[in-house]
Structure 1
Amino acid sequence: MLTAKPSEVLHPPSRTFKTLSIPNPNPSFDAIPFLRFRRRRCAPLATAASDSLAAVANAAQSRVDILSESLPFIQRFRGKTIVVKYGGAAMKSPALQSSVINDLVLLACVGLRPVLVHGGGPEINSWLLRLGVQPQFHNGLRVTDALTMEVVEMVLVGKVNKSLVSLINLAGGTAIGLCGKDGRLLTARPSPDSASLGFVGEVSRVNPAILRPIIADNHIPVIASVAADDEGQGYNVNADTAAGEIAAAVGAEKLILLTDVAGILEDCNDPGSLVKEIHISGVRRMVEEGKVAGGMIPKVNCCVRSLAQGVRTASIIDGRVAHSLLLEILTDEGAGTMITG
C-alpha cells in the first residue's frame, strides 16, 4: 500500500489550475488577499457605474422638465391646424428628414393637426442632370419647360410624396398622399412671368373641402405642389406659395416654412442679424428696401399673403437645425423668424 510522506501531507503539491479555497464559509472580507485585490479593482468600476446612473437620471429628468414646460404650448395649439412646408436641406439629409417626420408625428400625437406641403428641388435637379438638362431659375422660381414639367410630376408625385407618406406611417402617424390635381385641391393659372418661367403656375383657387375630413379624422395630408388649370394643363407651383394658400384656405393657426437659411436677416451678409419676430408691415418695408432677395422673395410673399387672409402667424425657420419644428412650436425661443399680422 502506498502511503504519503509526512511532508506531502503538510505541503500538498500545487494545483495546475487556480482555485480559491475558503474553508470558512463566512470569512472576514479583509482576511482574504484575493478578495481585497478584487475589491480595489472594482471600486473604479462601481464609481463609473454610479456616475453613469446619475447621468441617465439627469437625462431623464431633463426630458421630463422639457415635456412639462411644453404643456402651455401644447394646450395653445391643441386642435389647431399647422401647415408645414417641407423641403431644402431638411429633405436632403436622412438624419434631418427623420427628425422632421418624427416631430410631425409627435405633434399629431399631442393633438395638433399638421398638414405637410412639400417640394423636392434637390431630387428634381438630380433627375434633370441625369437627362442632361441644366436646372434654371428666375427670381427664385424654377424655369419649367415641357420636359422639366414631366420630371417635376414624376419626382414630386411619384417618388417624394409616396416616400414621405411611407415614412410618416412607419413613424406611427397616418398619412394620406395628395397633389394639387387631386379633387381639384389646387387650381392653377399661368404665372404673370410665364414668358420667362414656362409652366410655372400661381394658385387661383383652393378646395379645402378635400382636406377638412382628412384633418378632422386626425390624418396627416401630404401634398405635392403640382396643380392644373381649368383645362387640365399641369403647372409647377412653388411649394412655399402652395403652402401659404392652403394655410389660408383651411384657417390654419400657423404656417411654417422649413428653409436652408436661419430666417430673415436684417443684413443678408451677417448671419448674426437674424430677425426673431417682425410685424407684416416691417416685412413689407424690408422687401421695398431690397433687404429680401432671391429665393427668400416667394417665401416672404407667401407669408404675407397667408397672414392677410387670416393665418395667425407665419414662420420661416432653419430646416438644417434638428427638431427645428418642435423648437418653433413648443418653445418661446423659436427656430427662425416669426411674422405676425
Structure 2
Amino acid sequence: MTETIVIKMGGQAVSNQNQLEQCLKEISLISGTYKIILVHGGGHEISSFSKKLGIEPYFKEGIRMTSKEEMTLVDMVLGGSFNKLLVRKAQLNHLKAVGISGSDGPIFQGHALGSGNYTGRIDHVDISLIKHLLSGGYFPILAPPSIDEEGNPLNINADEAALALATAIKASHLLFISDIPGILNDGVLIPSMTPMAINTAIKDKIIIGGMIPKVQSAIKGLEEGIGQVVIGQYTHENSLLNLIEGSEGTQIHLEH
C-alpha cells in the first residue's frame, strides 16, 4: 500500500521562490512512490498585506488572533492568491495540483477561541475529499482557513491543520518544514527523539517556547497513528528526501 506523507511548509520554504521551486521539484520526483499532501502557512504574507491596509497583526503565545477584517485577508491570501501561486508552481513541476482549503468538504470544522476572534481550533476532520483527490492522482495543496458549525470562517494554525490531517489519514510521515534545522540543544541538532526524551528535554528547558506545544502535539499524533513526525528545514537539493529518510532534521517516533 502506498504510504501517505503530509508536508507542512512555512517560513522561508514557502517565501523563498528558489527553495519553493526546488522543493516542489523534489515532491514531483517522489510522487510516484508516496501520496503527498501539502499544507501551507503564509503568516508573513498575511502580516505584510494587513500592515499595508493599516491593520496591525496581534499574536498571543505565538498564535495570530484574527479580527473580522483580518479574517477576510486570511481568506484572500491563504485561500486565494498564495494558494493559487503554489498550485501553479506545482503544475510547472508536472504535479496534478489542486488548491483547496479546510472549508472545502468541509475538511476541518471547528470553533472560534472567543467572541470577535476568528482564530479557531479544529473539532472534526473529514478526509473523504482528500482521499478522493489522492485516489485520482491529484496533489492536494491545502490552505488552513476553515469553517464553524454556523458557516462562519475560521483561521486555523497551519501546524494544527497538518497534524489533524496527518492523524486522520494515518500518514506514514508528517514533515514540519520551517526555518529551523530541527530540535537543538545548545545549537546542536538532536537527530532523533522519543516521547520520554522530549518530556525530559522540556523539564530541562532544552525545548522551550512555541516548540513545546508542537512536540506535545506530535506525540499525540504518533499515539493516534502517524508513523513518524519530522521537524526540519529545507535548505538544498535532496533536503526533502533526507528529512523523510532521517538524515536531516529531528525525527520524533514512539519507543520501539
TM range (shorter): over 0.9
Does residue 337 (structure 1) correspond to residue 242 (structure 2)? The answer is: no
Which has the larger share of helix? 1
CA gap 1:314/1:184 in 2 versus in 1, 3 angstroms: same
CA gap 1:200/1:261 in 2 versus in 1, 3 angstroms: same
Does residue 121 (structure 1) correspond to residue 43 (structure 2)? The answer is: yes
**Residue range with higher mean Cα deviation, 252-261 or 274-283:** 274-283
Partner of 1:27: none
Partner of 1:85: 8
Bigger radius of gyration among the two: 1
Q: How do residues 86-235 of structure 1 correspond to structure 2 at under 5 angstroms?
A: 86-109=9-32, 111-191=33-113, 194=114, 198-235=117-154
Q: Shift of residue 204 of structure 1?
A: 0.7
Q: Distance between the aligned counterparts of 2:202 and 2:110, measured in 1?
A: 25
Q: Is the contact made by 1:186 and 1:227 (CA closer than 8 Å) also made in structure 2?
A: yes
What is the TM-score of this pair, normalised by structure 1? 0.70
Q: How do residues 207-286 of structure 1 correspond to structure 2 at under 5 angstroms?
A: 207-266=126-185, 270-272=186-188, 274-286=189-201
Q: Shift of residue 290 of structure 1?
A: 3.9
Q: Distance between the aligned counterparts of 1:121 and 1:302, measured in 2?
A: 20
Q: Which amino acid aligns with 2:87?
A: V
Pick from 207, 223, 233 the counterpart of residue 308 of structure 1: 223
Q: Deviations over 1:163-199 (max 9, x none)?
A: 11111111111011110000111011233xx47x922
Q: Is the contact made by 1:257 and 1:299 (CA closer than 8 Å) also made in structure 2?
A: no
SS in 2 for 1:150: helix
Q: Distance between the aligned counterparts of 1:249 and 1:139, measured in 2?
A: 26
Partner of 2:232: 317
Instruction: Show structure 2 runs of 5+ residues with no match.
Output: none
CA gap 1:210/1:284 in 2 versus in 1, 3 angstroms: farther
Q: Distance between the aligned counterparts of 1:290 and 1:326, measured in 2?
A: 30
Q: Distance between the aligned counterparts of 1:169 and 1:156, measured in 2?
A: 18
CA gap 1:144/1:321 in 2 versus in 1, 3 angstroms: farther
Q: Is the contact made by 1:241 and 1:298 (CA closer than 8 Å) also made in structure 2?
A: no
Q: Is the contact made by 1:140 and 1:298 (CA closer than 8 Å) also made in structure 2?
A: no
Aligned residues: 254
RMSD of aligned residue pairs (Cα, Å): 1.8
Q: Is the contact made by 1:89 and 1:320 (CA closer than 8 Å) also made in structure 2?
A: no
CA gap 1:332/1:288 in 2 versus in 1, 3 angstroms: closer
CA gap 1:156/1:282 in 2 versus in 1, 3 angstroms: same
Q: Distance between the aligned counterparts of 2:199 and 2:111, measured in 1?
A: 25
Q: Distance between the aligned counterparts of 2:236 and 2:195, measured in 1?
A: 25
Q: Which amino acid aligns with 2:97?
A: A
CA gap 1:288/1:235 in 2 versus in 1, 3 angstroms: farther
Q: Deviations over 1:209-256 (max 9, x none)?
A: 111121122211110011111111211111011001100111111100
CA gap 1:295/1:322 in 2 versus in 1, 3 angstroms: farther
SS in 2 for 1:237: coil
Could you tell me the percent identity over the aligned residues? 31
Which has the larger share of strand? 2
Does residue 293 (structure 1) correspond to residue 208 (structure 2)? The answer is: yes
Does residue 326 (structure 1) correspond to residue 241 (structure 2)? The answer is: yes
What is the TM-score of this pair, normalised by structure 2? 0.93
**Residue range with higher mean Cα deviation, 172-181 or 131-140:** 131-140
Q: Shift of residue 296 of structure 1?
A: 2.2
More relative contact order, 1 or 2 (CA 8 Å, 6+ apart) = 2
Q: Shift of residue 306 of structure 1?
A: 1.4
Q: Shift of residue 321 of structure 1?
A: 4.4
Q: Distance between the aligned counterparts of 1:314 and 1:289, measured in 2?
A: 22
Q: Which amino acid aligns with 2:178?
A: T
Structure 1 consecutive aligned stretches of length 4 or more whose deviation exceeds 6 Å: none
